[in-house]
Amino acid sequence: MTVAFGPNRWAIEITKMLNMVFGPEHFPIDVVAIAREYTAQRFPGDAITLAEGADLPGFDGALYRAPAGKNGWGIVYNNSLASRGRINFTLAHEFGHYLLHRVEHPNGIRCGAQDVVRWDSAYGQIEHQANQFAATLLMPLDDFRRQIDARAHVDLDMISHCAERYRVSLIAAILRWLVYTERRAVLVVSRDGFILWSRASEAAAKTGAVFRTSGAPIEIPPQSLAATQDLLVDGRAGILHGAGVWFDEEVREMTIFSEQYEFTITMLLLEDRDRYFQLEPDPEEDTYDRFTSQR
Amino acid sequence: MATTLGEKIHRLRKEKKLSLEKLGELTDSSKSYIWELENKNPPRPSAEKIARIAAVLGVTADHLVDTREARPDASVVDDAFFRKYRNMDAPTKEKIRQIVELWGDENK
């Protein structure tokens, strides 16, 4: 019988077990070994019995049910990616699908002829849960906090060190740090001068330091390191921009270019601030209110 | 489909060493529209726009527009959760099929 645990609960269960067996210093996690051992003990007859990597261009990984005559489930993944961190995250992600989704979807997800859109949105949800599981398993917050205090001023080297420790990509480590830092920080991933996506820490989001990428493309400021791609400037150490470049305040920008994936990773660090006064709700009736109240 | 419209435009534009501005200029589009085409998933442009972009990039419009279905093939989709299923090409699917078929007995 399987209890319907969520992604975090599963990850924490396994972390507790790892802490018991190996102690708190058990990083990076050997996902394949743990997935096999853990599932063999906990779900005998329905365990993960295969984990095989191959050169599979355009593919990250998938979870398969064993064919007739064999038992259990298998993870097939692309092991030709240059980034070990990405491979490790994929393995944990597929392990997450196994724990979270195999019971609900005993026959996998089938894509009917008219089902593309709905299938895609369900797909989005289960992908998100599997990512949440992978991040929590590979980078437990208690350990991350011991590496980088929630109040610490960071630089990319500090976060790179954690990416190494947990064997994840730099972006995965930054996203994890953003979950708990009390500092105002914004991650911006851009390509060809426009923002692909962005994520802000809670303190940054509360003060309006965010980029909303769901609408029209947002161009990155021409004065930024991300836009200049000036290899003579040490983008890792960062530079301090005055107000008016990224935001209406000083910002420390650190940028690295990922040639391999053709995108630019930028960390924006802002000073602590309670709120943006200009974003406080306007008590006066504004033009829009007046317009709508007249209708 | 193996490669999306956006990925194809992006790759061909880089090969031709054209900036976003330049490709925009040559096809009467804004720089940000070209970027959106390459990186987001806006509604498919008009046939005329595709034809102009294709001409500048030195390919046919058919080459840019995908005609194949955006779904994994049925023999592979069963019992599987996919990541990036859209990007799977036939040889990759075939390799995966083989791995699953050869599910080792030593893995029992």
Mapped onto helix, strand or coil, the DSSP state of residue B82 is: strand
Residue B80 to residue A63, Cβ atoms within 8 A: yes
Tens digit of pLDDT for each residue in A27-44? 999 999 999 999 999 999
The Cα A181–Cα A179 span in angstroms is 6
User: What are the residues whose beta carbons fall under 8 Å from the beta carbon of A4, sequence distance 6 or more?
Assistant: A103
Cα-based distances in Å from B11 to A55, A93, B4: 22, 29, 11
Q: How far is CA B77 from the centre of its chain?
A: 19
What's the rounded mean pLDDT across residues A82-96?
Answer: 90
Using the predicted structure, report yes or no on whether residue A107 has a pLDDT greater than 70: no
Cα-based distances in Å from A178 to A272, B57, B78, B92: 15, 40, 37, 35
What's the rounded mean pLDDT across residues B65-83?
Answer: 49
Q: Nearest 5°: CA angle at A265, between A255 and A237?
A: 25
Higher pLDDT, B42 or B68: B42
A204, A225 contact by CB (below 8 A): no
The Cα A175–Cα A200 span in angstroms is 9
Query: Could you tell me which residues of chain B have a Cβ less than 8 Å from any Cβ in chain A?
Result: 2, 20, 32, 35-36, 38-40, 70-72, 77-84, 87-89, 92, 95-96, 99-101, 103-105, 107-108
Higher pLDDT, A123 or B18: B18
What's the rounded mean pLDDT across residues A169-175?
Answer: 94
Give the mutation candidate from A194, A213, A259 for the B interface (greatest B CB count, under 10 A): A194
Using the predicted structure, report yes or no on whether residue A80 has a pLDDT greater than 70: yes
At residue B107, the pLDDT reads 46
Using the predicted structure, report yes or no on whether residue A181 has a pLDDT greater than 90: yes
Using the predicted structure, report yes or no on whether residue B104 has a pLDDT greater than 50: yes
Higher pLDDT, A72 or A262: A72
What's the rounded mean pLDDT across residues A213-237?
Answer: 82
Sign of CA dihedral A161, A164, A170, A172: negative
At residue A121, the pLDDT reads 53
Using the predicted structure, report yes or no on whether residue A232 has a pLDDT greater than 70: no
A214, A208 contact by CB (below 8 A): no
B99, A66 contact by CB (below 8 A): no
What's the rounded mean pLDDT across residues A224-239?
Answer: 77
Q: What percent of chain A has pLDDT over 90?
A: 59
Q: What is the average pLDDT score of chain A?
A: 84
A56, A78 contact by CB (below 8 A): yes
Using the predicted structure, report yes or no on whether residue B81 has a pLDDT greater than 70: no
Nearest-by-Cβ selection for B81 from A52, A56, A108: A108
Cα-based distances in Å from A99 to A15, A38, A76: 14, 11, 16
* b/e sequence B46-58, b meaning 16+ C-beta within 10 Å: eeebbebbbebbe
**Cα torsion for A228, A229, A234, A240, to the nearest 10°?**
30
Q: Which residues does chain B have within 8 Å of residue A50's beta carbon, measured at their own beta carbons?
A: 99, 103-104, 107
Cα-based distances in Å from A14 to A86, A293, B54: 21, 56, 52
| Range name among A130-144, A236-250, A270-284, B40-54 with the lowest pLDDT average | A270-284
At residue B63, the pLDDT reads 86
At residue B66, the pLDDT reads 64
How many CB pairs lie under 8 A apart between chains A and B?
106
What is the value of ipTM here, to two decimals? 0.75
In degrees and rounded to multiples of 5, residue A89 shows phi and psi of -65, -40
Using the predicted structure, report yes or no on whether residue B1 has a pLDDT greater than 70: no
Using the predicted structure, report yes or no on whether residue A260 has a pLDDT greater than 80: no
Residue B24: Cβ within 10 Å count: 18
Tens digit of pLDDT for each residue in B21-38? 999 999 999 999 999 999
User: DSSP letters along chain A, please?
Assistant: ------HHHHHHHHHHHHHHHH-S---S--HHHHHHHHHHHHSTTSSEEEEEEE--TT--EEEEEPPTTS-SEEEEEE---S-HHHHHHHHHHHHHHHHHHTTT-TT-----TT-HHHHHHHHHHHHHHHHHHHHHHHS-HHHHHHHS-TT----HHHHHHHHHHHT--HHHHHHHHHHH--SEEEEEEEETTEEEEEEE-HHHHHTT----TTSSPPBPPTTSHHHH--TTS-TTT-EEE-TTSSBSB-EEEEEEEETTTTEEEEEEEE---S--GGGSPP-S--HHHHHHHT-
Nearest-CA distance from B46 to chain A in Å?
19
What's the rounded mean pLDDT across residues A265-284?
Answer: 71
